[in-house]
């Protein structure tokens, strides 16, 4: 049975919203087709729609729909029939690689009636990349240098599959590689200039991103409108997920004057929201916490039971994590963690669900890792919460309950967001007292 899912709008657990009062002029409408059976099976969420809409909206492009389809020729072509009826520009992601199920290139070629041919310059570049003569390149690699006769291609700085542009009298179908690292770089360096040439869209202007935590999108929007008046040429976008909210403010031109205006805007908004803003760029909450620790030459130990190592895993991707996290201890029960930390106290785990036991756990983790700060997460309670203890460099320990309801990605993000927000506020408070 054909697998086809369609969302007229934006899909997924994360939500991106562009506030209608600041819509750009001379809008170009487009559709997105995301390919991949693994998305429909729920193996992971679609992140391409979020990235594309967020990147292209300030340039004068408006997404009128996003579709996720199985990576078969029939499903891709069915999606293209739907999408090309509604927009002059269609962006397709995924299916340009070397494997047998990478059929996007051929599916679009058949749909548009456009032949595909090897491009001589791409063939030479591919041969140099793999250090073999062109005639010795494997057939599956040579598939990736086949481009439409009517159209063009987009260079891939981070991979072997070029992007494809299928031109027609009515518009264009652009096919991008699926790996996020390849797609995002290609969009910024290749697709955006192409769209400016082909559709007359704007080139990137000057933007300001403010990252909030602990407040809802509607509350932030209401307080901004209540306390200040934004200039009419500022385009506002927002994205929220798991207790984190990003607001982006974009001006059409990248000039010193635009920079000054956005700097002034940042000061005003920070003055309104204070510590609810944790970054004024794309720094993640995880990276912000690690950076706070590094800036204070502080160290952290983690001890986790109910969270199963989620906190340590979340911090793993942050730059400098290895410098500040001196120990991460994970066990399924308080007794097992008691043994892992080699604590010689028979009464230590007597009240395993109590705050006192988790506070002692944080102290034990700090001592075992010889760390100044420590965070301990106790066992999962019947009400779907866990006791979390924070140990400061002074030796003082305090605990609170944080909800941990379910094992879904959304529940995981909400829990990590709440815990890291508590930790960053405590780090900031200690610094303020010094």
Contacts of 336 (CB under 8 A, 6+ apart): none
If we measure between CA atoms, which residue out of 183, 232, 235, 231 comes closest to residue 206? 235
Domains along the sequence of the chain with CATH: 4-199 (3.40.980.10), 206-279 (3.30.70.2860), 285-433 (3.90.950.20)
Share of the chain above pLDDT 70, in %: 90
Q: Is the pLDDT of residue 260 over 80?
A: yes
Confidence of residue 3 (pLDDT cuts 50, 70, 90): very low
10-14, 316-320, 421-425: which is most confident: 421-425
Confidence of residue 350 (pLDDT cuts 50, 70, 90): low
Q: Is the pLDDT of residue 306 over 50?
A: yes
Predicted local confidence at residue 254, as pLDDT: 87
- HSE on the CB side for 309, CA within 13 Å? 9
Sign of CA dihedral 241, 49, 232, 268: positive
- pTM of the predicted model, to two decimals? 0.70
Confidence of residue 7 (pLDDT cuts 50, 70, 90): very low
Predicted local confidence at residue 411, as pLDDT: 86
Higher pLDDT, 348 or 267: 267
**What is d(CA 175, CA 108) in angstroms, rounded to the nearest whole number?**
9
Predicted local confidence at residue 344, as pLDDT: 67
Q: Is the pLDDT of residue 229 over 50?
A: yes
If we measure between CA atoms, which residue out of 73, 141, 83, 136 comes closest to residue 108? 73
Q: What is the pLDDT of residues 114-123, one digit of tens each?
A: 999 999 899 8
Q: What is the mean pLDDT of the chain?
A: 88
If we measure between CA atoms, which residue out of 174, 170, 201 comes closest to residue 187? 174
Cα angle 32, 36, 38; round to 5: 135
CB-CB contact of 361 with 330 (8 Å) = no
User: What average pLDDT does range 345-359 have in this prediction?
Assistant: 65
CB atoms within 10 A of CB 255: 12
If we measure between CA atoms, which residue out of 243, 238, 241 comes closest to residue 225? 238
Confidence of residue 18 (pLDDT cuts 50, 70, 90): very low
Cα Rg of the chain, angstroms: 25
| Lowest mean pLDDT segment, chosen from 56-60, 206-210, 254-258, 266-270 | 56-60
Predicted local confidence at residue 282, as pLDDT: 87
């Amino acid at each position: 049975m054909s697998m086809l899912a369609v969302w007229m709008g934006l899909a997924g657990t994360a939500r991106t919203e562009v506030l209608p009062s600041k819509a750009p002029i001379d809008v170009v409408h487009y559709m997105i087709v995301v390919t991949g059976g693994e998305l429909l099976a729920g193996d992971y969420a679609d992140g391409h729609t979020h990235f594309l809409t967020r990147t292209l909206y300030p340039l004068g492009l408006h997404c009128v729909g996003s579709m996720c389809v199985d990576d078969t020729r029939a499903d891709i072509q069915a999606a293209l029939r739907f999408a090309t009826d509604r927009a002059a520009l269609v962006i397709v992601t995924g299916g340009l690689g070397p494997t047998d199920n990478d059929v996007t290139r051929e599916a679009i070629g058949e749909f548009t009636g456009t032949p595909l041919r090897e491009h001589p310059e791409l063939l030479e570049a591919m041969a140099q990349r793999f250090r073999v003569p062109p005639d010795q390149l494997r057939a599956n690699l040579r598939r990736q240098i086949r481009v439409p006769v009517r159209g063009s291609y987009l260079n891939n700085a981070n991979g072997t599959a070029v992007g494809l542009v299928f031109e027609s009298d009515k518009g264009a179908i652009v096919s991008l590689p699926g790996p996020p690292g390849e797609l995002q770089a290609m969009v910024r360096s290749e697709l955006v200039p192409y769209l400016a040439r082909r559709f007359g869209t704007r080139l990137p202007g000057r933007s300001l991103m403010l990252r909030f935590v602990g407040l809802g999108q509607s509350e932030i929007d209401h307080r901004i409108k209540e306390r200040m008046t934004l200039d009419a040429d500022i385009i506002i976008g927002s994205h929220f997920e798991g207790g984190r909210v990003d607001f982006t403010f974009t001006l059409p031109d990248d000039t010193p004057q635009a920079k000054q205006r956005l700097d002034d805007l940042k000061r005003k908004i920070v003055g309104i929201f204070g510590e609810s803003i944790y970054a004024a760029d794309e720094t993640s909450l995880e990276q912000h916490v690690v950076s706070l620790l590094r800036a204070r030459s502080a160290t952290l130990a983690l001890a986790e039971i109910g969270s199963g190592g989620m906190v340590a895993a979340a911090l793993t991707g942050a730059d400098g994590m290895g410098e500040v996290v001196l120990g991460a201890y994970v066990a399924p029960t308080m007794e097992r963690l008691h043994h892992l930390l080699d604590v010689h106290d028979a009464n230590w785990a007597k009240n395993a669900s109590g705050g006192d036991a988790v506070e002692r756990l944080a102290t034990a983790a700090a001592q075992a890792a010889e760390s100044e700060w420590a965070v301990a997460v106790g066992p999962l309670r019947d009400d779907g919460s866990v006791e979390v203890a924070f140990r400061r460099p002074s030796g003082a320990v305090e605990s609170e309950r944080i909800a941990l309801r379910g094992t879904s990605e959304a529940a995981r993000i909400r829990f990590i967001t709440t815990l890291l927000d508590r930790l960053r506020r405590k780090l900031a408070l200690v610094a303020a007292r010094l």
